[in-house]
Chains A and B, each alone.
Chain A
């Protein structure tokens, strides 16, 4: 085959994916943009080309809380998820019988359905009957049981912890695979040159896994932004909106209050926020991931 026919074959092969993206991503995204600029009264569209939905959104006192909580959720969740994933991945990369078994077992939180995970954690963290609060109390660390999800100061961080428990295993496995693919000669050479463990990690392993690390960070950020079930089932955005994040508030505005215009405006803000953060991250790390991708 010549180069031209290769090119046509390549286009043909990606055609289904392009069609699916157009139908299920670009189309609905366009609809959301349109709705966000449309005035909607009682479910009826009353004119395109208005910023009233955005004005209403920014005038909503709950929205500031939502932005703060979303920042904790996405940024805190991503940083902690990738950091712990990297540490666990490093450990799993060690060859031993134990790590071989652990590599399979660690996926358990990943394969559990979201709702099951959310309900199980909700009850474990419950103030009156939760086992975690009970243990903490029995150890004498607190006077009584703690309502982890009923405490406005704790609830967001509790959700982040559950999120990490759920999302970290796959991150750890991806990074474990990347670490294991680092040429052993490079690590050995560094060792012979007198590099200690931290130096081998910082100057040998990290540059080699930079591409995987960047990819997994971006993917985690997108997963976490899209995550809805865990916070909704565990807290419903409460108490008093202290765990209300973008995804739950969009859902509430659109499907409970029937304020589709405001819900769409918030989706647009969410998309812009995510694209900005991901774009900035990719820009800052452009050298490492671009170089990794060329390998």
Chain B
């Protein structure tokens, strides 16, 4: 056997070796200043991230990390201001819903461009594919999700449930109305839902509307679809619950956001409340209060023009790299650090179980199975993300969601019927979209 090396083989081998050395060098050589802005998170998460950052710094002693935490509701404003003043952080940890707009405005860059194929392969190996895909836009990966939130869920006071003579959570909209009526007492409404203009309150409603085959925007036609039957009928459900006398007053719900609604539930001022998957987090309930979380009941017969979704999901701690970053090496190292199993196992801040974890190994943790046995079973069976879609994300999403928020409030206040409110919202949102997109 002849054991010689041809010129072409030598060149290919040398190039590959140099590329590998260069990649390894990049991974080892992360240095310099790295600014990170994180937006939003549960109380435990706010503490867990800086603690993990210390580990990153221990492994990357040449990096000078400047980490800041901000309220999630101001992320767009802060990021836009940073972009305009050319003082944007290297790494932005924001929401998956933001990706199309941030990418469209050239604020963030595709991660494929700054990490090596080997690193990318590692991410794919460690992260649940459906969750990693939630960081994609236009066929490129723009964000590395560390967990997702799913919509929509309902928290139930199980003592009130038993008092009303029920032994399981409601499964359909009709049952939900029946349960809410039965669980209502003179000093406690059967159900409360948040109806402020906070984006999360609108996301909660979107989960219900999308499960009914509704959509807020059709990317193919570029048309706002807020007045689709799926959305109208979902809003009618809100109106029906109020008309049934099962909720706090409409006025009151328009001033009570998701966080406040959780507090009211924890104080036994509502027997059920509607939220996202994080309602499983300990929001602080009265001692001895028994409660459980369950998927929001499904429509009896979906009425929307689009396929009903099983759930909506969105990463709310998605790592993105800014287009203005002058230290993409350190940024890539930071992202890779957060893609490691040790970091992905925190579920948004161990021991608090609040988020749907992105790491494959996180699903093998006994702690998760104890808290969410049904979810772990479903994940293991490969059905957890079946029929789930990303939270609405497109250029102009904020304007459309804001118009939807106004429509929800008009209906909750009894000013308009769902059809009237959503017809107006469709027109207003379409004007905003056309203006933004030209």
Residues of A in contact with B (beta carbons under 8 Å apart): 39, 41-43, 46, 56, 59-62, 122, 126-129, 144-145, 147, 149-152, 235-241, 251-252, 255-259, 261-262
Contact = CB atoms under 8 A, between A and B. Distances in A.
A62 B409 contact: no
Contacts of A128: 248, 252, 256, 264, 269
A56 B431 contact: yes
A257 B402 contact: yes
B438 interface: yes
Contact of A42 (B105, B251, B399, B406): B105
Contacts of A150: 249-255, 413
B264 A239 contact: no
A151 B396 CA distance: 29
18 contacts: A41-B438, A42-B395, A42-B437, A56-B435, A61-B424, A127-B248, A127-B249, A129-B269, A147-B249, A149-B255, A151-B251, A152-B415, A238-B196, A238-B255, A238-B406, A239-B413, A241-B406, A258-B436
B428 A62 contact: yes
Contacts of B399: 256-257, 259
Contacts of A43: 104-106
Contact of A238 (B76, B197, B260, B398): B197
Given A129-B264, A257-B402, A258-B105, A238 B254 contact: yes
Contacts of A149: 255
Nearest to A122: B255
Contacts of A259: 399, 432, 435-436
B251 A147 contact: yes
B428 A61 contact: yes
Given A127-B251, A147-B255, A255 B77 contact: yes
A239 B428 contact: no
Given A60-B431, A147-B251, A238-B409, 4 more contacts: A43-B106, A150-B252, A236-B196, A259-B435
B198 interface: yes
Interface string B401-438: 01001100110110100000000100010011001111
Contacts, number: 113
A46 B105 contact: no
A236 B195 CA distance: 12
A41 B437 contact: yes
B309 interface: no
Contacts of B437: 41-42
B80 interface: yes
B101 interface: yes
Contact of A239 (B198, B409, B438): B409
A61 B403 CA distance: 12
Interface residues on B, range: 35 or more
Contact of B435 (A237, A240, A256, A262): A262
A240 B415 contact: yes
Nearest to B424: A61
B81 to A, nearest CB: 8
A257 B396 contact: yes
B99 to A, nearest CB: 14
A163 to B, nearest CB: 18
A87 B226 CA distance: 51
Contact of A41 (B405, B413, B428, B436): B436
A237 B432 contact: no
Contacts of B77: 251, 255-256
B255 A240 contact: no
B375 to A, nearest CB: 32
Most interface-central of A60, A239, A261 (chain B CB within 10 A): A239
Interface string B238-282: 000000000011111111100010001000010000000000000
A21 to B, nearest CB: 20
B395 to A, nearest CB: 7
Contacts of A252: 402
Contacts of B405: 238
A122 B259 CA distance: 14
B438 A147 contact: no
A241 B196 CA distance: 11
A255 B249 CA distance: 31
A126 B431 contact: no
Residue in A150, A238, A258 with the greatest tally of chain B CB atoms within 10 Å: A150
Listed residue (A126, A236, A251, A261) with the most chain B CB atoms within 10 angstroms of its CB:
A236
Interface in B283-297: none
Contacts of B260: 126
A152 B264 contact: no
Nearest to B416: A240
A251 B80 CA distance: 12
Contacts of A144: 249
A129 B265 CA distance: 12
B249 A240 contact: no
A147 B412 CA distance: 13
B248 A240 contact: no
A62 to B, nearest CB: 7
A239 B251 CA distance: 8
Given A150-B249, A235-B255, A257-B432, A42 B438 contact: yes
B396 A127 contact: no
A252 B402 CA distance: 9
Contacts of A256: 76-77, 398-399, 402
A77 to B, nearest CB: 21
Nearest to B405: A238
